[in-house]
C-alpha cells in the first residue's frame, strides 16, 4: 500500500487582493473548505485567512497533485460564495498561488504560523509576507 508524508503550505490571494473575506464571510468560508476537503479526500492540517488571502497546510496523499487540489479548493469555494450571495461583489480568487514544501519537523511551526495570521498581519503586509516567501524559497514572479 503506497504511503506518503508530503506537506505543502498553500497561499493564494483574492482577485487583485480585494478584501473579500469579511468578518461575516470568514466563519463560513473556513468550515466550508474543511468539509469540502473531507468530502474530497483532501487532508487539511491547518487553515486560516485574512481579508485578502488564505493559508492552507495540506498533507498530500499518494496520487494527488497540488495544481488539481488548488483548482478544486479555489473553484468550489468561489462558486459556493457566489451561489449563496455571501459577498456583495462577485467573489474571485487570484489565478496564481504559492505551494511551499514543509518538512515533517516544521509542521508544528507552520501550523502555529497559520493559526496566528491575524496577529502576524498587524505587523506585516501581505506583500511583505509574499516577498519573504518568494525570496526564502528562491521563487521568481512570472
pLDDT at 36: 98
54 part of a folded domain: yes
| CATH number of 124's domain | 3.30.70.1290
Residue with cell 508544528: 108
61 part of a folded domain: yes
37 part of a folded domain: yes
Looking at beta carbons, which pairs linking 32-40 to residues 24 or more positions away fall under 8 Å?
32/77, 32/80, 33/73, 33/76, 33/77, 36/72, 36/73, 36/76, 36/77, 36/80, 37/73, 40/72
30 part of a folded domain: yes
Q: pLDDT (tens digit, 9 = 90+) per residue, 56-74?
A: 999 999 999 999 999 999 9
1 part of a folded domain: no
Q: pLDDT (tens digit, 9 = 90+) per residue, 93-116?
A: 999 999 999 999 999 999 999 999
Angle, helices 66-83/26-39, rounded to nearest 10 degrees? 130
Number of domains composing the chain: 1
Identify the domain containing residue 57 by its residue range.
Answer: 6-136
49 part of a folded domain: yes
Amino acid at each position: 500500500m503506497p504511503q506518503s508524508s508530503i506537506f505543502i503550505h498553500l497561499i493564494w490571494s483574492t482577485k487583485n487582493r480585494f478584501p473579500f473575506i469579511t468578518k461575516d464571510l470568514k466563519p463560513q468560508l473556513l468550515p466550508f473548505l474543511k468539509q469540502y476537503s473531507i468530502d474530497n479526500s483532501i487532508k487539511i492540517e491547518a487553515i486560516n485567512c485574512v481579508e485578502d488571502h488564505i493559508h492552507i497546510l495540506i498533507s498530500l496523499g499518494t496520487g494527488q497533485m497540488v495544481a488539481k487540489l488548488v483548482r478544486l479548493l479555489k473553484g468550489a469555494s468561489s462558486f459556493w460564495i457566489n451561489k449563496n450571495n455571501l459577498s456583495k461583489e462577485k467573489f474571485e480568487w487570484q489565478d496564481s498561488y504559492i505551494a511551499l514544501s514543509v518538512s515533517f519537523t516544521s509542521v508544528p511551526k507552520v501550523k502555529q504560523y497559520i493559526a496566528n495570521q491575524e496577529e502576524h498581519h498587524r505587523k506585516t503586509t501581505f506583500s511583505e509576507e509574499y516577498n519573504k516567501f518568494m525570496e526564502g524559497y528562491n521563487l521568481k514572479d512570472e
